[in-house]
Amino acid sequence: MLRKEEIDFFHELSNPERESTFTHNIYSYPAKFLSHLPRGLISKLSNEGDLICDPFAGGGTTGLEAMLLNRRFIGYDINPFSILVSKVKTTYIPSETIKNTLNEIIENSPSVNAKINILDQTDKVCLGDKIALEINRIAAYIKKEIQEARQQSFFRLALIHTTKIIGRRDFELRKNWKKISFTPMFIRKCNKMSDAVCSLPREYKYLPKFRLGSNHDMKISDKDVDLIITSPPYLNVDVEYQKLQLQRRSIQKSKRSDIINNILDTDPLPNSVLCWKGEKGEKYWRNLEKSLNECYRVIKSKRHLCLWTGFKNQEDENRLLTLYKDINFSLLETIPIKLSSNRAASSRSTHHKRKTGMMKKDFLYILQKRA
């Protein structure tokens, strides 16, 4: 059971907080975890050196907080882009190293004969020929010339993030937007990201581990985990975890682009895999049951599973609670979590005042393994 002071503390976490420290804002991963939640949960429900697990690692927020609080961490995700974002967010790189490599990219990429082409014809139409050429050349240089893994990941994420900004519908409001150079924007993004990663500790006690793979078969020993904090996909909600949205009203073009996969040299995963879509929701429940059974296997007795999710109706929420009980978890507390206004990358976003089909509150369920 939770003590009253713990319950009061967790309910104080229910209001969204602006994330401005360390690398939390380095990339707005879709449906991201609000950092103050895992920070508070880790501090109250675990001790230094404990093993924290996030079976749906997403943008690596839980892993970052575990690292900063001197906990061991293992995270799983089937999306290669998740692993990229997570590793960049938790990896310190000296500013001088980033600066020197960035100068090499800017100086040498214009002369690169880019045999790779990460953009299709519709991408080029949306972005404009000048921007498209710069993106291709920078991508080619990063792939061919940057060999160190941490730097390659850093600059790949900077390239993706800058392209994401340029792809937004409001970018074309700029005068002569097709003639704007991509490179100065890329430089600014790299410098901003450099400031963020340089704020991380140069040395930390435990290196977080992010593994590409399914959480239905985590390579973790039985009863080895002290605390699980996670947020699974939402039922019947499409979130574009691997695609960038390119929108151009002036030419009546809107495109869900595969730029991310093309930059990372990875194969796209359908939303039936990423979001468990299909079969009138039954595919979702089968997959969630497998994930929760694996959580039950790896977590120690009497330790906590903290799960953040939301449903469109009470029937679906009741089904979740029945599933927990059947797997042998006890529900200790349900905490309503207000959505923040800056969840722009999430299909749950409410800041555009659109009807998203989701509740304006999500819920944090704090459960405990019975035996």
**pTM attached to this predicted model:** 0.92
Give the tens place of pLDDT for each residue, 223-238.
999 999 999 999 988 8
Confidence of residue 303 (pLDDT cuts 50, 70, 90): very high
Q: How many CB atoms lie within 10 A of CB 305?
A: 25
Instruction: State the average pLDDT over residues 310-316.
Output: 87
Long-range contacts of 316-323, Cβ-Cβ distance < 8 Å, separation of 24 or more: 316/235, 316/281, 317/363, 319/285, 320/288, 320/365, 323/285, 323/288, 323/289, 323/292
Long-range contacts of 348-354, Cβ-Cβ distance < 8 Å, separation of 24 or more: 348/31, 348/234, 348/237, 348/310
Give the tens place of pLDDT for each residue, 314-355.
899 999 999 999 999 999 999 988 765 544 334 444 444 455
Show the domains of the chain with their CATH numbers: 4-87+204-239+275-369 (3.40.50.150), 95-197 (no CATH)
Please name which of 297, 160, 279, 132 lies closest in space to residue 221, comparing C-alpha atoms.
Answer: 297
Phi, psi of 275 (to 5 degrees): -115, 5
Phi, psi of 355 (to 5 degrees): -85, 110
Confidence of residue 88 (pLDDT cuts 50, 70, 90): very high
The pLDDT of residue 342: 46
Phi, psi of 74 (to 5 degrees): -130, 130
